[in-house]
A and B are shown apart, each in its own frame.
Chain A
Amino acid sequence: MASNVDRLRDLLTEVFLLEPNQFRLDLRREQVDTWDSLGMVALAVGLEQTFGHHLPPDEVVALGGVPDIVAALSRRGVSFDG
């Protein structure tokens, strides 16, 4: 069964068209040129579809990278341990 890190990696790879090894847990928004305004909308939809949690628009806009996504989902009970 895929871990939540795997699911997050697959989601971001699909939404931002990342290269296969581009995903890292410390990846920053400014390192991804496709992390644009439409990409944020797609990310919000993808997070809800994948993890079942709706992030309000102002929180999505404030996401600065993968650490912020992990933090936002962790606050909602999604575990990224192990």
Chain B
Amino acid sequence: MDAASDEPFLASAAAKIPPVLGRDHFALLTSGSTGEPKLVVGCRRRAEALARTLHDVQRSEPVEEAVVALPLSYSYAFVNQWLWARVHGRRLVETRGLADPSQLARALGGSRAAMLCLVGAQVPMLLAHVPGPHPGVIRLHFAGGRFPQESLPRLREAFPNAAVFNNYGCAEAMPRLTLRRAEEADLAADVGTPIPGVELRTGSGGALEFRSSYGAIGYVDPAGFHDIAPGAWLVTGDLGERQEHGRWVLQGRASEVFKRYGEKVALPQLLATVSAAWSGQAAFYRERDRSGEDGHVLVLAPAPGPEELRLVLRVLRARHARAQWPLRIEALGTLPLLANGKVDVGGLVAARARPPLWDQRL
């Protein structure tokens, strides 16, 4: 294990890992569901077993190379690409992702029987800056956020030979829990079925819990190192429900589902509504209203025109009660993203684009 000594938490957290785990183990830094930094400790044997299982369920035998467009410190890219390539003896093509679109375009242009792993938030920028088509990509994976269901037609044009998968998991699962082929469902929140070796259940308050033979063996938070007992049920940080035929549907992050004036607000569902009328980027941040009730602000990027904004408002009005409408709609040129491609919610709050495009005045 190697810790970057210039990261105070990382350095002190790495020092708290028992020395016995110094061989054949690894650690990944995550913000976890609470936003607090956490160092999650995995076991090489379990991770390699997961890489082999993923190879089977993702039907990766024809794949000759993995084109990396996400930081390899991100557990999704680390296991699904770096470790998979190592275990199965395939090429790893590293790029700087959308930080350098022309380099990514060259890598995709020269790819052959490639696997590409992305997060949904990257799709608008990818389609704008690296539109393709990219016939050399035969597997396109999404994880780490909402699956871009509504972008599938455009993704199929950009990646005409790719089988598209929605992967779901969390850092403590190291990281994979479920999988579905894109065409198996119409709902972005449908994450498919657990992969072999993984069990899911709904716990208290709808919390989605898992038990995995590939999962982390411990973690370090500011309080110190914590063992994860074999066979222990762990929370994913999401809410989820089992559907027919063993499929699972996410109801949102535990932190993204809340009550407002007695109405349940599920930000992922609202995002799905917005995406039905808006093809650009969209994200929410939380804010209390004048009465102190929990609320949320919608941020669109780039700024929509008046008619586009009207379409968004119309679909919100048609599908949701007023309590579920955002407090405001704001616009930015582009959404701030974290290194792993997820939306930087802190950056949205800091930007607080003014004046708002629309204000509910509550």
* Interface residue ranges, A against B (CB under 8 Å): 14-15, 17, 19-20, 34, 36, 38-39, 41-42, 45-46, 49
Minimum C-beta distance from B277 to chain A (A):
13
B322, CB-defined interface residue at 8 Å:
yes
B245, CB-defined interface residue at 8 Å:
no
Q: What CA separation (Å) do A45 and B362 show in the bound complex?
A: 7
Interface residues on B, range: 10 to 19
In contact, B317 and A15 (Cβ under 8 angstroms): no
Task: Kindly list chain A residues whose C-beta atoms are within 8 Å of the C-beta of B271.
Answer: none
In contact, B313 and A42 (Cβ under 8 angstroms): no
In contact, B313 and A15 (Cβ under 8 angstroms): no
B359, CB-defined interface residue at 8 Å:
yes
In contact, B361 and A15 (Cβ under 8 angstroms): yes
In contact, A38 and B362 (Cβ under 8 angstroms): yes
Task: Kindly list chain B residues whose C-beta atoms are within 8 Å of the C-beta of A45.
Answer: 290, 361-362
Q: What CA separation (Å) do A14 and B360 show in the bound complex?
A: 7
Task: Kindly list chain A residues whose C-beta atoms are within 8 Å of the C-beta of B291.
Answer: 41
Chain A, residue nearest B313 (CB): A17
Please judge, given known A-B contacts A36-B322, A38-B322, A45-B290, whether A17 and B317 are in contact too, CB under 8 Å: yes
Partner of A49, one of B310, B316, B361: B361
Task: Kindly list chain B residues whose C-beta atoms are within 8 Å of the C-beta of A39.
Answer: 322
Task: Kindly list chain A residues whose C-beta atoms are within 8 Å of the C-beta of B323.
Answer: 38
Minimum C-beta distance from A29 to chain B (A):
14
Q: What CA separation (Å) do A14 and B362 show in the bound complex?
A: 12
Minimum C-beta distance from A82 to chain B (A):
27
In terms of DSSP, what is the predominant structure of the interface of chain A? helix
B259, CB-defined interface residue at 8 Å:
no
B314, CB-defined interface residue at 8 Å:
yes
What are the interface flags for B323-362 relative to A under an 8 Å C-beta threshold, 1 for contact and 0 otherwise? Answer: 1000000000000000000000000000000000011111
Chain A, residue nearest B290 (CB): A45
In contact, A42 and B362 (Cβ under 8 angstroms): yes
Residue among B261, B359, B360 with the highest chain A CB neighbour number at 10 A: B360
Residue among A20, A41, A46, A49 with the highest chain B CB neighbour number at 10 A: A41
Chain B, residue nearest A36 (CB): B322
Q: A14-B358, A17-B317, A45-B290 are in contact. List 7 more A-B contacts (CB 8 A).
A: A14-B359, A17-B316, A20-B310, A41-B291, A41-B362, A42-B362, A45-B361
Residue among B261, B322, B361 with the highest chain A CB neighbour number at 10 A: B361
Q: What CA separation (Å) do A20 and B306 show in the bound complex?
A: 11
Q: Which of B287-335 contact A (CB under 8 A)?
A: 290-291, 310, 313-314, 316-317, 322-323
Task: Kindly list chain A residues whose C-beta atoms are within 8 Å of the C-beta of B314.
Answer: 17, 19
Minimum C-beta distance from A9 to chain B (A):
15
Q: What CA separation (Å) do A42 and B290 show in the bound complex?
A: 10
Q: What CA separation (Å) do A39 and B310 show in the bound complex?
A: 18
Task: Kindly list chain A residues whose C-beta atoms are within 8 Å of the C-beta of B360.
Answer: 15, 42
In contact, A38 and B261 (Cβ under 8 angstroms): yes
Partner of B317, one of A34, A38, A46, A49: A34
Can you spell out 9 A-B residue pairs with CB atoms less than 8 angstroms apart? Answer: A14-B361, A17-B316, A19-B314, A34-B317, A34-B322, A38-B322, A38-B323, A39-B322, A41-B291
Minimum C-beta distance from B188 to chain A (A):
25
Chain B, residue nearest A11 (CB): B361
Task: Kindly list chain B residues whose C-beta atoms are within 8 Å of the C-beta of A49.
Answer: 361
Please judge, given known A-B contacts A34-B317, A34-B322, whether A46 and B361 are in contact too, CB under 8 Å: yes
Q: What CA separation (Å) do A17 and B310 show in the bound complex?
A: 9
Q: What CA separation (Å) do A36 and B362 show in the bound complex?
A: 13
Chain B, residue nearest A48 (CB): B361
Q: What CA separation (Å) do A76 and B342 show in the bound complex?
A: 51
Q: What CA separation (Å) do A17 and B324 show in the bound complex?
A: 14
Chain A, residue nearest B293 (CB): A38
What are the interface flags for B115-151 relative to A under an 8 Å C-beta threshold, 1 for contact and 0 otherwise? Answer: 0000000000000000000000000000000000000
Q: Which of B218-243 contact A (CB under 8 A)?
A: none
